[in-house]
Amino acid sequence: MKNLFFALLVVFSASACAPEFGLEMQAPPVSAVQKVEPGGAEAAALRVKVGSFEDARSALTIVTVDDREIPTVGSVGGPVQEAFDRAFRDAGVRVVRRDAPLLQGEVVEWKANILPGFPSSEAVATAKVRVSLKDSESHVIYRGVFNGEATVSHPLLDEDHVQELLGQAMGGAVEAAVNDEVLRAQLSRGRIE
């Protein structure tokens, strides 16, 4: 009887810590980029046109909980495009609709892996974007791949926590791209008068 009670207590404790998720998940908004390097007058002279970001992930899975895969619904490119737009503006770069180099790209990876546990669950989110910058004649003048990662350990890990974590990971990738000195130099070189 004592062993049965102990076994039920362990099962109940483990199931209480297992995160609950739906059958699918929207791509989350990308967290605001915290460490954008303002460029002052130099950045103010730069202009960029932020184009679309395509979903180039090898699978639609955005979250894995144990062995259960949760697919993404909706666009993953839209939130990434908005994040680049916002990050360039925060850096002082003018984001325009025409007469500027075009930045566009692909979301190569955006996922979280969750390991339920007691007393808390662990989650790791990773993001990777591939960007290209094109001049007025659509010649590629720059290509780069940027990564971001975020981790959390929480006793009550839920879908909101994981979406925030995914947003932080992609925010790190966007931050790395916007702060890239070579990309900024190419923005300057590719300036369209």
pLDDT in tens, 14-52: 443 445 667 788 888 898 776 666 555 566 788 999 999
Task: Give residue 192's pLDDT band: very low, low, confident or very high (50, 70, 90).
Answer: very low
pLDDT tens track for 76-103: 999 999 999 999 998 889 999 988 999 9
pTM (2 decimals)? 0.83
pLDDT of residue 3: 52
Cα 171 to Cα 30: distance, rounded to the nearest angstrom: 6
pLDDT of residue 23: 77
Q: What percent of the chain has pLDDT over 90?
A: 55
pLDDT of residue 8: 37
State how far the alpha carbon of 163 is from the alpha carbons of 29, 50, 119, 151, in Å: 8, 24, 21, 12
94-95 and 102-115: which strand pairing?
unpaired
With 60 as the cut, is the pLDDT of residue 141 above it?
A: yes
HSE on the CB side for 25, CA within 13 Å?
28
**Residues of 118-157 as b/e, b for ≥16 C-beta within 10 angstroms?**
eeebebebbbbbbbebbbeeeeebbebebebebebeeeeb
Q: What percent of the chain has pLDDT over 70?
A: 81
Are 151 and 126 in contact, with CB atoms under 8 Å apart? no
pLDDT of residue 116: 85
Question: Phi and psi for 8 in degrees, rounded to 5?
Answer: -65, -40
Q: Where are the alpha helices (DSSP H) in the chain?
A: 2-17, 40-44, 77-90, 159-178, 181-189
Task: Give residue 9's pLDDT band: very low, low, confident or very high (50, 70, 90).
Answer: very low
Task: Give residue 110's pLDDT band: very low, low, confident or very high (50, 70, 90).
Answer: very high
pLDDT of residue 34: 65
Q: What is the mean pLDDT of the chain?
A: 84
